């Protein structure tokens, strides 16, 4: 913009210079022109007297506008005070000038007309020339223009008018270029405008367009000349005053500017005059138009006023020369501010490429069209309204106007084509517009423009409505995504958490969970039990330290052993004493019956009147060889089978003859007992052989609680079961036939040697030195058993010793087996299948034994199969007879003699060294088989025999060696067996005969003293007797 | 010349604001986006080479879908961002200089194990 401005300014300067130059060249013509103009003015005044107040009104309006302008300036407060003052001064001067002008005009009225005409002619001529040059240059519009040519040349007035119209056209064009719809109401304003436009044109043309320059320059020259001539005098004065006034504020202004400004002013001054002159003719029309404009102004009041004001500003600013542009800019800015629709005055300098301005171009275009059409309309109206004269002139004028329009617009494109230095936008706009105007019919374009203009106005209105609605703001801001970073734990879980695992919880110190199981050790204790619970002890087991023993009260071991033995013996003594007391208090109860036997002094009965002993036969009696008072009685199975525990069992009763009221112990076993014996050294063990071939052992020391007990007739009886039984075990060696004899075999030989040693070591508990048991069955099988006493008691029973009762301490171990039939007898005898019946061991040498057979022979054998002589003890008669050896008894007083009783009633006395007997007594019992035979324990020469018919024979060999000295028949009932009781150590003469009766009764007869008391040197006498008999 | 001119003749033949039906409704837009994302990204793993194509196709799909919604005179801008889900924190935001009366924005986020996808749709009204 600055560049443009400068350039335009310079151009204007050039123009000025040119003008000066021209002025200098043509002083005369100018003067003439001035005169002409003045004349013309006068004439117009006269002609247009119809409206005499016109000038005054104009002046009034002007002043009004000025005041308005002033007010506005005040209100806006944009201008400096100085300037305001200055303007006031200017206005003052202007008014003064106006007045002066009026005076001049009035004075020059008469002459002015003719001169004016002349001048017009000159100008017209020049214009014709110009038009012709146009016609030459422009081919297209030529035809169109030619039609007007003829008329133009005819009428000068018309030309004048045309000239005016041309100027007006230029004005409109200028308005277009400035993009402002300026409605001019006053002639003054109009004229000034025109002048201004011309000046601008000149500037443009001179500066840039050389083709047009010529024409324009001509015009300009003429105009300038005229103006300067007219106002040369007044201007000089004014210039001085102006310069003075400018000096007030124009310190910053350059000197050059001052001069140019003054020139401008002068030109401006000039413009007023000639413009008025030129417009004199058209004044009536312009009045009309002014009216219309006023009407228009009613519609567009605000706009109009502002435009006017701006216009005023422009005008006033013109006075100050170059300030105009700045002022224009200011006013434009003001306008922009005042009106929403920007309506800027884009003057010379305003070649901005602003879109709004472009937009305004269109609006202005439409307004221009309006104006044009309005002008045409005005012209027509003028024709109608002006009553007197000149309608035809007006018509012509109209034609001229159109022609002029065309003519003016046609050159513009060319001119603009050459405007290379002009801004692009402006040039294009103007060129397009102008070319349309120039080439085609205006009306078509007008309708188009009208439609587009309506559209634009619509848009404008829409914009105006929209703008306040639209409110852009930054208020909203969106958070599109906020993804927090994943912490390590989540990352871990994401990576590894899916692998078939589940995170139940995390343990940290705060909730430190601890899980464990609190179970206490299960205390176990091994116990045993037994089913059926027949015995007293059915359950048990290892006892803990605190528990009391099943076996009895915990007592110190040493003391317990001593105490037990003491008590055992003591209680026996006490029991016996008590028994004796009872007997003493009940005198002759037992003895009275003893008197029935002649051989006995006294007798007593063992109390076998026990309910469990009723109906039991006694097959065997045995008296301990150590404890002579202890008696075993075997009670067989009852004759009539009863019910209950004992009905199928045989019993063994252990008696103490001093305590005959009741058996001391009762032993039971399942099978029938055939033979029994005590242990040799101590009567603590009882051995028994049964009919089914089993050997049984009872340990009498066992606690009675180990055994079942029964309440029978208000007395508690303990029935002792066998401690050990070979029944069912050791089948390879066990007997398969009834055991006929059981004999204890004491190791007397060994005992001699070990006697000294054993004194210190052998336990009191034990039954004595170790011994063996020999058992012989019907088939002649002799088994030797070692009796082993266990150190440790196992109440649960032994796993290996199946025959041992739980808690038992004694067991039998098989030692050896002998086939007596093969070993003892020679082949001739053995072919007869002798049956062994009984066996006796030699007491002095237990390795030797004799066996009684059923063929009358007695075999002699040893335990180690040694050859012995004689192998057989035969009867006196050599022939073999089937007589059974029923009883064998060794001589108890040292000599190896023995008695043999046979089933035929014969009795033989053998010595060990001879096969044949020392003596033999046949028919002593009248053929009755001998049942029992036994040496008297106290007298060596006496022995007792019992035959099957219950006769007891007493033999006294010293007295009679052929016949028994006494014979006693037991009257009441049959005696089954007999044994002797006696204490050989004591010479008290007590010898008892134990008689077991068939009814189960046991009688004890004390034989008379003559057969009981030993005689002096009886053994020697016996030997001698025996030797004699030999 | 006395007539008031064409300015007053046509009143309200133009529209100043979008009608209620045509207004850019962020809730419906969000639903659209959500449906499309759910359909397209259901079992997609993050493969860096495929993502540019995916974002382009997604944005086109969404844009076309939004055009069907009938937001007249709206300029629609759809932005699709796909990133790999590796545990890092991401924060996205948008700030708009616009007329809050007419213009609006809708966005939706889709996240699966391997990727996250953010779609923002902006609608600007042409007056």
Q: What is the pLDDT of residues A357-381, one digit of tens each?
A: 444 444 444 444 444 444 444 444 4
CA-CA distance, A967 to A309, in Å (whole number)?
200
* B→A interface, C-beta within 8 Å: 1-2, 4-7, 9-10, 13-14, 16-17, 81, 87-101, 105, 107, 109, 111, 113, 116, 118, 120, 127
Q: Do A377 and B1 touch (CB under 8 A)?
A: yes
> How many Å apart are CA A698 and CA A720, to the nearest integer?
8
Q: Which positions in chain B touch A374 (Cβ < 8 Å)?
A: 1
Interchain proximity A453–B6, CB inside 8 Å = yes
Cross-chain Cβ contact A481/B101 below 8 Å: no
Q: Residue A723 in contact with residue A804, Cβ under 8 Å?
A: yes
Rounded to a whole number of angstroms, the distance from the CA of B87 to the nearest CA of chain A is: 5
Q: What is the residue-wise DSSP string for A576-615?
A: HHHHHHHHHHSTTTTHHHHTTSTTEEEEEEE----GGGTT
Q: By C-alpha distance, which of A154, A604, A585 is closest to A393?
A: A154
- With CA atoms as reference, the chain A residue closest to B122 would be A478
Find which of B2, B3, B6 to mutate to test the A interface (most A CBs within 10 Å of its CB): B6
Please judge whether A465 and B16 are an interchain contact, meaning their C-beta atoms are less than 8 angstroms apart: yes
C-alpha distances (whole Å) from A420 to each of A346, A415, A729, A941, A1007 are 19, 10, 153, 196, 193
Describe the crossing of helices A255-280 and A210-249 by its angle, rounded to 10 degrees.
120
- Do A476 and B7 count as a contact with CB atoms less than 8 A apart? no
Q: Which residues pair with A715 in a beta bridge?
A: A712
The Cα–Cα gap between A158 and A152 comes to 7
A478 to B95: CB separation less than 8 angstroms, yes or no? yes
A contacts of B127 (beta carbons < 8 Å): 466, 470
Per residue in A619-674, pLDDT (tens digit) is 888 888 878 888 888 888 877 666 566 777 888 888 888 778 888 888 888 888 88
Judge contact between A900 and A916, C-beta under 8 A.
no
Closest B-chain CA to A370: B1
| Shortest Cα–Cα distance, A491 to chain B (Å) | 7
pLDDT at position A470: 80
- Chain B residues close to A474, C-beta within 8 Å: 95-97
pLDDT per residue rounded down to tens, chain B (127 residues): 333 344 444 456 677 778 888 888 889 899 999 999 999 888 889 999 999 999 999 999 999 998 888 888 899 999 999 999 888 888 988 888 888 888 889 989 998 888 999 999 999 988 7
Nearest to B94 among A470, A478, A494 (CB): A478
Pairwise CB contact (< 8 Å): A465 & B1: no
Mutation site for A-interface testing, chosen from B78, B90, B103 by largest number of A Cβ within 10 Å: B90
Judge: A299–B111 Cβ closer than 8 Å, yes or no: no
Token representation of residue A600: 């006995």
CA pseudo-torsion sign A934, A937, A941, A942: negative
Do the Cβ atoms of B100 and A482 come within 8 Å? no
Residue A336 distance to chain B (closest CA, Å): 21
Whether B87 sits inside 8 A of A485 (CB atoms) is: yes
Q: What share of chain B is helix, strand, coil (3-state, %, to 5)?
A: 25, 30, 45
Q: What is the chain B residue with the closest CA to A300? A: B4
- B100–A476: do the CB atoms touch at under 8 Å? yes
Judged by CB atoms closer than 8 Å, whether chains meet at B98 and A472 is answered as yes
- Rounded to whole angstroms, how far apart are CA atoms A997 and A603? 14
Distance from the B85 Cα atom to the nearest Cα atom in chain A, whole angstroms: 10
Residue the block writes with tokens 């003293």: A1009
Beta-carbon pairs below 8 A across chains A and B: 100
Q: How far apart are CA A374 and CA A372, in angstroms?
A: 5
pLDDT of residue A606: 80
Question: Going along A733-777, which residue ranges are E strands?
Answer: 739-746, 771-777
- Of all residues in chain A, the one with the smallest CA distance to B79 is A480
For residue A299, the chain B residues in CB contact (below 8 A) are 4
> Does the beta-carbon distance from B1 to A370 stay under 8 Å?
yes
Q: Do B100 and A470 touch (CB under 8 A)?
A: no
Q: CB-CB: which of B90, B95, B101 is closest to A477?
A: B95
Q: Do B4 and A473 touch (CB under 8 A)?
A: no
**Chain B residues within 8 A of A479 when measuring between CB atoms:** 91-93
Inter-chain contact A469–B101, Cβ cutoff 8 Å?
yes
> Cα–Cα distance between A85 and A91 in angstroms, integer?
10
| Alpha carbons A220 and A405: distance in angstroms, whole number | 19
Residue A354, both tokens: 């602003």
User: Using CA of residue A184, residue A187, residue A191, residue A196, what is the dihedral sign?
Assistant: negative
What integer pLDDT is reported at residue B59 of this predicted model?
92
Interface test with B, best of A478, A486, A489 (most B CBs within 10 A): A478
B69, with CB counted inside 10 A (0-12, 13-18, 19+), is middle
Which of A295, A454, A473 lies closest to B100 in CB terms?
A: A473
Can you tell me the ipTM of this complex?
Answer: 0.74
Using beta carbons and an 8 Å cutoff, which residues of A are at the interface with B?
A: 292, 295-296, 299, 370, 373-374, 377, 450, 453-454, 457-458, 460-462, 465-466, 469-486, 490-491, 494
- Closest A-chain CA to B2: A296
β partners of residue A872: A859
Query: Which segments of chain A have a pLDDT < 70?
Result: 1-390, 408-441, 475, 498, 501-503, 507, 510-513, 543-558, 586-596, 640-645, 747-769, 830, 878-880, 987, 1029-1030
- Best mutation target, B79, B86, B93, B115, to test chain A (most A CBs within 10 A): B93
Beta strands in A820-941 (DSSP E): 836-841, 848-853, 858-862, 872-873, 885-890, 897-902, 907-911, 919-921, 930-935
Tell me which chain B residues have a C-beta less than 8 angstroms from the C-beta of A288: none
Task: From chain A, pick out residues whose CB is under 8 angstroms from the CB of B96.
Answer: 474, 476-478
Asked if B109 lies within 8 A of A481 by C-beta distance, the reply is yes
CA torsion through residues A284, A285, A288, A292, sign: negative
Query: Which of B29, B96, B115 is the best residue to mutate to test the A interface, defined by the most A CB atoms within 10 Å of its own CB?
Result: B96
Whether the Cβ atoms of residue A322 and residue A254 lie closer than 8 Å to each other: no
Binary contact (A480, B13; C-beta < 8 A): no
Q: Which two tokens stand for residue A404?
A: 């002029």
Q: Which residues of B touch A292 (CB under 8 A)?
A: 1
Give the contacts of A892 (CB within 8 A, at least 6 positions apart): A843, A935, A937, A940, A984
Burial of A467 (0-12, 13-18, 19+ CB in 10 A): exposed
Alpha helices in A77-209 (DSSP H): 81-107, 109-137, 140-154, 156-178, 187-207
pTM of the model: 0.43
For residue B55, what pLDDT is reported?
Answer: 92
Pairing assessment for the beta strands A665-669 and A715-720 based on DSSP bridges: parallel
The minimal CB distance from B99 to the residues A373, A460, A472 is found for A472
Query: Which of B16, B87, B118 lies nearest to residue A466, judging by beta carbons?
Result: B16
Cβ contact, residue pair A481, B97, below 8 Å: no
Q: Give the minimum alpha-carbon distance from B119 to chain A in angstroms, rounded to a whole number.
A: 8
């Amino acid at each position: 913009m600055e560049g443009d401005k400068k350039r335009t300014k310079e151009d204007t300067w050039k123009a000025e210079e040119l003008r000066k130059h021209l002025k200098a060249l043509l002083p005369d013509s100018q003067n003439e022109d001035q005169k002409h103009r003045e004349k013309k003015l006068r004439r117009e005044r006269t002609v247009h007297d119809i409206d005499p107040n016109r000038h005054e009104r104009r002046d009034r309006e002007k002043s009004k506008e000025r005041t308005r302008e002033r007010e506005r300036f005040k209100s806006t407060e944009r201008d400096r005070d100085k300037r305001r003052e200055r303007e006031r001064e200017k206005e003052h001067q202007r008014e003064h000038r106006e007045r002066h002008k009026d005076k001049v005009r009035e004075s020059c009225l008469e002459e002015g007309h003719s001169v004016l005409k002349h001048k017009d002619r000159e100008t017209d001529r020049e214009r014709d020339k110009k038009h012709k040059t146009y016609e030459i240059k422009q081919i297209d519009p030529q035809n169109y223009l030619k039609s007007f040519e003829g008329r133009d040349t005819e009428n000068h007035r018309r030309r004048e008018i045309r000239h005016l119209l041309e100027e007006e056209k230029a004005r409109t064009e200028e308005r277009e270029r400035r993009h402002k719809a300026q409605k001019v109401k006053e002639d003054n304003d109009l004229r000034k405008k025109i002048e201004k436009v011309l000046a601008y044109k000149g500037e443009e043309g001179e500066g840039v367009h050389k083709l047009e320059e010529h024409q324009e320059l001509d015009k300009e020259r003429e105009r300038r000349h005229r103006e300067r001539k007219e106002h040369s005098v007044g201007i000089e004065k004014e210039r001085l005053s102006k310069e003075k006034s400018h000096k007030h504020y124009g310190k910053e202004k350059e000197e050059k500017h001052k001069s140019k400004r003054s020139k401008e002013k002068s030109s401006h001054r000039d413009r007023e005059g000639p413009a008025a002159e030129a417009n004199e003719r058209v004044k009536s029309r312009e009045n009309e138009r002014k009216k219309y404009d006023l009407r228009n102004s009613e519609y567009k009041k605000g706009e109009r006023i502002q435009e006017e004001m701006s216009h005023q500003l422009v005008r006033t600013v013109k006075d100050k020369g170059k300030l105009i542009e700045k002022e224009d800019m200011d006013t434009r800015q003001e306008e922009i501010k005042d009106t929403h629709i920007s309506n800027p005055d884009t003057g010379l300098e305003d070649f901005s490429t602003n879109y709004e301005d472009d937009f305004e171009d269109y609006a202005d275009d439409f307004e221009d069209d309006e104006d044009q059409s309005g002008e045409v309309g005005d012209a027509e109206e003028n024709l109608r309204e002006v009553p007197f004269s000149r309608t035809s002139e007006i018509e012509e004028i109209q034609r001229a106007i159109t022609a002029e329009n065309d003519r003016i617009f046609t050159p513009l494109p060319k001119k603009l084509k050459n405007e290379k230095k002009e801004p692009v936008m402006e040039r294009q706009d103007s060129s397009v517009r102008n070319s349309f105007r120039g080439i085609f019919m205006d009306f078509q374009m007008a309708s188009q423009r009208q439609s587009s203009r309506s559209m634009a106005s619509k848009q404008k209105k829409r914009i105006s409505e929209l703008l306040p609605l639209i409110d852009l703001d930054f208020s909203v801001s969106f958070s599109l995504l906020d993804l927090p970073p994943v912490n390590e734990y989540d990352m871990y879980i994401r990576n590894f958490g899916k692998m078939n695992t589940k995170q139940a919880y995390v343990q940290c110190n705060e909730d430190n969970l601890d899980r464990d199981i609190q179970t206490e050790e299960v205390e176990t204790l091994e116990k045993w039990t037994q089913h059926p619970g027949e015995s007293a002890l059915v359950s048990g087991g290892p006892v803990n330290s605190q528990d009391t023993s099943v076996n009895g009260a915990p007592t110190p071991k040493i003391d317990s052993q001593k105490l037990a033995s003491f008590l055992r013996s003591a209680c026996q003594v006490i029991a016996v004493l008590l028994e004796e007391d009872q007997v003493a208090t009940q005198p002759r109860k037992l003895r009275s019956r003893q008197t029935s036997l002649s051989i006995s002094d006294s007798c007593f009965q063992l109390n076998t009147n026990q309910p469990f002993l009723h109906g039991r036969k006694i097959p065997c009696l045995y008296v301990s060889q150590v404890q002579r008072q202890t008696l075993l009685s075997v009670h067989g199975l009852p004759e009539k089978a009863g019910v209950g525990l004992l009905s199928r069992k045989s019993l063994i009763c252990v008696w103490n003859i001093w305590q005959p009221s009741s058996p001391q112990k009762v032993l039971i076993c399942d099978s029938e007992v055939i033979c029994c014996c005590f242990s040799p050294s101590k009567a603590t063990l009882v051995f028994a052989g049964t009919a089914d071939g089993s050997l049984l052992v009872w340990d009498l020391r066992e606690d009675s609680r180990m055994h079942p007990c029964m309440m029978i007739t208000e007395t508690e009886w303990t029935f002792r079961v066998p401690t050990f039984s070979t029944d069912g075990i050791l089948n390879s060696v066990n007997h398969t036939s009834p055991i006929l004899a059981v004999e204890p075999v004491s190791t007397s030989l060994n005992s001699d040697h070990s006697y000294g040693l054993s004194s210190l070591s052998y336990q009191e508990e034990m039954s004595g030195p170790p011994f063996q048991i020999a058992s012989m069955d019907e088939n002649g099988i002799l088994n030797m058993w070692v009796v082993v006493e266990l150190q440790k008691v196992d109440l649960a029973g032994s796993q290996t010793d199946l025959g041992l009762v739980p808690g038992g301490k004694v067991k039998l171990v098989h030692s050896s087996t002998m086939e007596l039939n093969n070993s003892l007898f020679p082949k001739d005898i053995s072919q007869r299948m002798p049956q062994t019946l009984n066996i006796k061991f030699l007491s002095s040498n237990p390795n030797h034994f004799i066996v009684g057979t059923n063929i009358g022979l007695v075999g002699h054998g040893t335990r180690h199969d040694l050859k012995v002589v004689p192998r057989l003890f035969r009867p006196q008669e050599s022939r073999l007879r089937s007589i059974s050896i029923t009883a064998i008894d060794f001589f108890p007083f040292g000599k190896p003699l023995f008695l043999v009783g046979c089933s035929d009633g014969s009795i033989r006395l053998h010595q060990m060294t001879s096969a044949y007997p020392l003596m033999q007594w046949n028919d002593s019992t009248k053929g009755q088989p001998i049942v029992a035979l036994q040496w008297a324990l106290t007298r060596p020469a006496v022995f007792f025999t019992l035959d099957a018919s219950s006769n007891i024979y007493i033999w006294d060999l010293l007295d009679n060696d052929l016949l028994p000295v006494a014979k006693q028949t037991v009257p009441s009932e049959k005696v089954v067996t007999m044994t002797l009781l006696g204490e050989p150590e004591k010479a008290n003469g007590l010898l008892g005969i134990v008689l077991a009766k068939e009814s189960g009764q046991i009688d004890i007869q004390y034989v008379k003293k003559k057969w009981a008391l030993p005689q002096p040197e009886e053994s020697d006498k016996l030997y001698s007797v025996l030797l004699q008999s030999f | 010349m006395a007539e008031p001119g064409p300015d007053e003749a046509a009143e309200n033949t133009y529209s100043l604001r979008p009608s209620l039906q045509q207004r850019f409704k962020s809730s419906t837009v969000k639903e659209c986006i959500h449906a499309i994302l759910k359909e397209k990204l259901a079992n997609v793993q993050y493969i860096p080479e495929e993502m540019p194509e995916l974002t382009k196709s997604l944005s086109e799909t969404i844009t076309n879908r939004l055009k069907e919604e009938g937001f007249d005179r709206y300029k629609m801008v759809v932005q699709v961002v796909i990133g790999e889900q590796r545990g890092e924190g991401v924060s996205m935001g948008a700030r708009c200089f616009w007329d809050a009366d007419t213009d609006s924005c809708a966005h939706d986020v889709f996240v699966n194990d391997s990727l996250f996808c953010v779609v923002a749709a902006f609608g600007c009204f042409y007056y």
